[in-house]
Structure formats: C-alpha cells, structure tokens
Amino acid sequence: MAEVLVYVDHVDGAVRKPTLELLTLARRIGEPVAVALGAGAENTAATLAEHGAVKVLTHDASEYADYLVVPKVDALQAAVEAVSPAAVLVPSSAEGKEVAARLALRIGSGIITDAVDLEAGDEGPVATQSVFAASFTTKSRVSTGTPVITVKPNSAAVEAAPAAGAVEALAVTFSAQATGTKVTGRTARESTGRPELTEAAIVVSGGRGVNGAENFAIIEALADSLGAAVGASRAAVDAGWYPHTNQVGQTGKSVSPQLYIANGISGAIQHRAGMQTSKTIVAVNKDAEAPIFDLVDYGVVGDLFDVVPQLTEEIKTRKG
C-alpha cells in the first residue's frame, strides 16, 4: 500500500488534535508515515502509533526553533525523497500552509490548501474545499507531482487505529536558505485554559454588541459553562476588546465547530466566511434584521446582557 506523509504539529512532543485528524484521512488513501521535527519529536511516537502511523520519522535540530519555516521544508523534502509518498498531508495552520507551499514548489507538485475533506479517487486524492465564504463547495485534485494537501482542523473525526509507529531517524541537510529568517525572540501566549479556537468543538463569540472589553466576561462565562473556546468578531477586535488571536472571520481564523454561538454579531460576509461551515449555528442579537439570523438553526432576538447570563445559569443548573 502507498505511503502517505503526515506532517506532525506538536508542542514539545504533545501532538495537536488536527494532526490526529490527518492520520484518519491519510488512512483513506494509504499508510500514514508521520514526520515529527524539533524538540520532543520522539515523544510523539506513541500517540501517533495509536492513531495509525506505521512509521514516525523524527529529527531534532536547533534550526527548527531558531529560524522560520525553511528548515521544516528541508526536512519534509528529505522525507519525501526517503519515502516517495502518494501524498503529503499538512495541517492548515498559517505555518503549515507556508511549509506545504514551499515543499510543493520544490518537488514540482501542485498544492491544495484548506481542504475540509479528503477521499481516494481514480486520479489520486480528491480534496473538498469550502470557498467564497462557504457559499460554494469544490472538489479538486493535484494533477502534477505528489499531491501536497493542507487540511483544516475539524475535517475528520479522530479515530484510534493502532499501528507499529516505528521511530526512524530522518537524515536532513539544511539548505542555504534555512537560516535566512532568524527568530530573535519568542513570547509564549498565556494559556487561558480554554480549548484552542480552531480545534474547539464549541465556539462562543462576541461582537460589536458586547460593547466593551469588560463585558467579554459574560461571553467567557458562557464559554466556560460549555467547555468552549472564545471567539470575537473583527469589530470587537478592532475596538481592542479582545485579542486578535481570537478573531473569527476572513482576516482572522476560520472555525468549523459542532456548535457556534454568535452573540451581538450582525453577521457581515467577512465574519460569515470564518464560521459558516459550523454544524449548528445559534445567535443572540437585539436586531431582528441582522443577517446572522439567515444562517441560524436557532436564534434569539433579544439583549445579550439579559439572554446570555440566563443561558449560562441554565446550563450550569442543567449540568448540576
């Protein structure tokens, strides 16, 4: 069976959920071979094996942390040369897409970004994408070279599928470009204890209607009652009420959770671009004419300052 390379997104050996989703998708088109780079790479093996990786190629060097993107491209290129895979799958993070694009160009292959589903086809893997603010769904394939495909979080269910997960050292020679962009400083983001926005099963968002940074506490309380991530519309972020890293929309993050709760968000096209593929959409807004109500499965026309705290209390009561 053909091997499929899966690029592993991990933090010091802890594998992030989108990578496990990729292993599920990879099994539809071949045998997953994982590539884990940097500090803690070897510690990823057990988790990757549990989810179907037949092999885990690892390499650690200070270059991965000290320089931007290119060292990872060099390593992935070495993995492609070592394995001759049927496809390369990479999580659709900002960096993942950059790594995938440069790799594709180097190995003379086409690239598809932000796939939301993947299946085997007669002419190679077929990727589903959601385009034009999720108003269209396309099916595409790579017609030249080894398909390089980046896949968005929440595109597949994580499934356990025990496999050998044999660790092998990957031999990497860094290119002249590898040290071109130096990382001269790094400030870790303070953890909120909440799930990561793009990976969360439930997202609770606030917009212009939240009307102030301090009022985001109401949104956070609702999120916490559901174990959800907190999102914000561009209006709320531009007003300085919530960090840009939590922005949902065309210029922020695109999310596709099981449940999306929009509070005080009118639903401009730019916001819809980032959340329209959510499975269930719920909104609370004072304005009955807000376009968000065209999208919802359930909407409440009302003041979020009344509705949201009541909802939070009710959830807490029901959860006991």
Which residues participate in the annotated binding site for FAD? 208, 233-234, 247-251, 264-271, 285
Nearest residue to 115 (alpha-carbon basis) of 82, 152, 80 = 152
Instruction: Please report whether residue 269 would count as binding another protein according to CB under 8 A.
Output: yes
Which strand ranges, in their side-by-side order, compose the sheet holding 31-37?
A: 126-131, 111-119, 148-151, 87-91, 3-7, 31-37, 55-59, 166-169
* Element (DSSP H or E) covering residue 80: helix 70-83
Report which of 171, 103, 200, 169 is spatially closest to residue 142, judged by C-alpha positions.
103
User: Hey, how many other C-beta atoms are within 10 angstroms of the C-beta on 177?
Assistant: 14
Listed as own residue / partner, the contacts of 127-136 with beta carbons closer than 8 Å and 24 or more positions apart are 127/151, 130/276, 130/277, 133/250, 133/269, 133/270, 133/272, 133/273, 133/276, 134/272, 134/273, 134/276, 134/277, 135/276
> Nearest distance from residue 303's CB to another protein, in Å?
7
The phi and psi torsions of 150 (rounded to 5 degrees) equal -100, 140
Segment near another protein (CB under 8 A), from 25-33, 55-63, 78-86, 301-309? Answer: 301-309
**Alpha-carbon distance 274 to 260, whole Å?**
11
258 binds another protein (CB under 8 A): yes
Least CB distance to another protein at residue 309 (A): 7
Give the residue, chosen from 181, 213, 217, 287, that forms a contact with another protein under the rule CB under 8 A.
181
Residue among 27 and 102 whose Cβ is closer to another protein: 102
Our finding on whether 259 is near another protein (CB under 8 A) is yes
Taking CB under 8 A as the rule, does residue 62 contact another protein? Answer: no
Piece of the chain touching another protein by CB under 8 A; list 40-48, 67-75, 162-170, 208-216: 67-75
Scanning 33-41, 45-53, 164-172, 242-250 for contacts with another protein by CB under 8 A, the matching segment is: 242-250
Among 2, 212, 245, 287, binds another protein (CB under 8 A): 245
* Burial (CB count <10 Å: 0-12, 13-18, 19+), residue 192: middle
Among 1, 157, 173, 182, binds another protein (CB under 8 A): 182
Instruction: Count CB neighbours of 123 within 10 A.
Output: 9
Applying CB under 8 A, the site for another protein has a residue count of 92
Please give the Cα distance from 267 to 177 (Å, whole number): 43
In this chain, which of 1, 184, 214, 289 binds another protein, going by CB under 8 A? 184
Q: Which of residues 127-166 bind another protein (CB under 8 A)?
A: 130-145
Rg (CA), the chain: 21
Site string for another protein, 76-115 (x = CB under 8 A): -----------------xxx-xx-xxx-xxx--xxxxxx-
Q: Do 285 and 266 touch, CB atoms closer than 8 A?
A: yes
Nearer to another protein, 177 or 211 (CB): 177
Residue 273 touching another protein (CB under 8 A): yes
Q: What length does the chain have?
A: 320
Minimum gap (Å) between residue 42 Cβ and another protein = 20
Minimum CB separation of residue 234 from another protein in Å reads 8
Alpha-carbon distance of 262 to 259, in angstroms, equals 10
Site map (CB under 8 A) of another protein, residues 185-204, x = contact: xxxxx------x-x---x--
Is residue 117 part of the contact set for another protein (CB under 8 A)? no
CB of 320 to another protein, least distance (A): 11
Instruction: Give 165 or 209: the residue with its C-beta nearer to another protein.
Output: 209
Q: Does 294 participate in binding another protein (rule CB under 8 A)?
A: yes
